[in-house]
Amino acid sequence: MRQRLKAPSALNGEVSPPGDKSISHRAAILNGIAAGKARVRNFAQSADCFATVSCLRALGVKIEPPEGETLLIEGVGGSGLREAEDILNAENSATTMRLMAGLLASQPFLSVITGDQSLRSRPMDRVIRPLRLMGAEIWGRSGDSKAPLVIKGGHLKGIKYVLPIASAQLKSALLLAALFAEGETVVSEPSPSRDHTERMLKAMGAGIKVAGNDISISPSRLKAIDLDVPGDLSSAAFWLVAGAVHPRAHIRIRDTGLNPTRSGIMDVLAYMGANLRIENKRMAGGEPLADLSVQSSRLHGTEISGELVPLVIDEIPIIALAASVAEGETIIRDARELRVKETDRISATVKELSGLGADVDELPDGMVIRGVKKLRGGICDSHGDHRVAMMLGVAALIAEGETLIDNAEVVNISYPKFWQDLEFLSKK
């Protein structure tokens, strides 16, 4: 699908971002293996999360409806999963594949899990290696580094493992395996990554302790919990930047998660000079959330590197857009991980923003962006990546002339109503 957009004269109104994608995956998986029934509200209407639901259903977990905003999940308890009759499909979702790999490594049956072309090109050795250390038999294509994965799960033992990268998917895979392993597992992160798994495991009664960057977990039985999933800050981020960079904007974004391991975008935008407000802070299901608002702002450049990177990992394309029209220079470093996301997000962002008149140079692990006065519309492409598509949608809101975005339907991965919400906020 080709999306055609022109800059509106103003951006105004209130939107609710979809339920948090990371929390939704975890709510389905953890409730699926817990004892009892759970109602999960505001489940992410995201193709990625529905892929997780479909894998769990294939393994015998009752989840109704298979796609919907409120899911009823009947947990099968610790030993209730059964061998799937067919190959599991994680589609475009690395979170599904890596978390399910951790879980399946602990189960006494054979599983094969694959994904779409993008997911089959992404690194899986990072989960294969530690799961083998725990005793799992697990193989992958391309010298045990890529999907499809074949997993013959079984008796695992706890390990102490220092993660080579700050990755919540890898950390969560090991925590899931550790729930069924003999003895304690300790996972040490080089720096904090999103901690939704730890929070939910605690709320479900698991024996988990967090001390600095070390997480210890003992084999545990989980109790199902009802959950109201907060809105996804990674989706809200597109409106935060849209509101900041458009000259006549006032946008309110309701019920948005503000977990400190995710909220780096708020700090980055505030530092760049964005006119942001946080109201009505509260907690739901062990996660902080609030209502956010943003108004037209004068932004200046910034530097993003080191421990900040994992806290804004999914927001870097939209931060790059903000930097493209900010005053001065922005440097993004230590973000090599972006090269193995749904697409190579460094090269896709640099290519597409340059095509719209931004002044961007590619670095091996990031980019350097010098702010320009104006972007100009043109033909651009999502590269099959939902966050690149939405970043380009926001670019179109401030570009001169018309912008055409190819492969725009990929927003379904995390935010199916993105184009509708963009239209709703745009005033002619």
Binding footprint of ligand S3P on the chain (CB under 6 A) = 22, 25, 95, 167-170, 172, 194, 313-314, 337
DSSP states along 387-419: HHHHHHHHHHTTEESEEEEETGGGGGGT-TTHH
Half-sphere exposure of 188 (CA within 13 A, CB side): 5
> Smallest distance, Å, CB 23 to ligand S3P?
8
**Whole-number Cα distances in Å, 329 to 184, 265, 322, 368:** 47, 18, 11, 7
Nearer to ligand S3P, 22 or 297 (CB): 22
Residues in the chain: 428
Of 11, 91, 23, residue with least CA distance to 256: 23
With 0-12 / 13-18 / 19 or more C-beta atoms within 10 angstroms meaning exposed / middle / buried, residue 6 is: middle
How does DSSP classify residue 110?
E
Type of residue numbered 366? G
> Taken in order 371, 372, 374, 375, is the CA torsion positive or negative?
negative
Nearer to ligand S3P, 235 or 297 (CB): 235
Measured CA to CA, the distance from residue 235 to residue 202 in angstroms comes to 26
Beta bridge partners of 426: 11
> Smallest distance, Å, CB 314 to ligand S3P?
5
- Active-site annotation holds for 314: yes
Nearer to ligand S3P, 8 or 310 (CB): 310
Measured CA to CA, the distance from residue 160 to residue 100 in angstroms comes to 20
Nearer to ligand S3P, 95 or 297 (CB): 95
Nearer to ligand S3P, 20 or 381 (CB): 20
Place of tokens 């800050």: 233
Number of neighbouring beta carbons within 10 Å of residue 228:
18
> Smallest distance, Å, CB 124 to ligand S3P?
11
> Smallest distance, Å, CB 328 to ligand S3P?
28
Query: Which backbone phi and psi does 134 adopt, to 5 degrees?
Result: -80, -10
**Whole-number Cα distances in Å, 214 to 181, 187, 414:** 18, 6, 30
Nearer to ligand S3P, 76 or 170 (CB): 170
> Smallest distance, Å, CB 194 to ligand S3P?
6
> Smallest distance, Å, CB 208 to ligand S3P?
16
Measured CA to CA, the distance from residue 118 to residue 94 in angstroms comes to 9
> Smallest distance, Å, CB 315 to ligand S3P?
10
**Whole-number Cα distances in Å, 193 to 112, 113, 183, 262, 388:** 28, 25, 24, 8, 22
Nearer to ligand S3P, 146 or 246 (CB): 146
Q: SS3 letters for 288-337?
A: EEEEEEEECCCCECCEECCCHHHHCHHHHHHHHHHHHCCECEEEECCCHH
With 0-12 / 13-18 / 19 or more C-beta atoms within 10 angstroms meaning exposed / middle / buried, residue 405 is: buried
Nearer to ligand S3P, 22 or 107 (CB): 22
> Smallest distance, Å, CB 350 to ligand S3P?
19
Q: Of these residues, 228, 314, 385, 421, which one is catalytic?
A: 314
Question: Residue 379 in contact with residue 353, Cβ under 8 Å?
Answer: no
Catalytic residues: 314
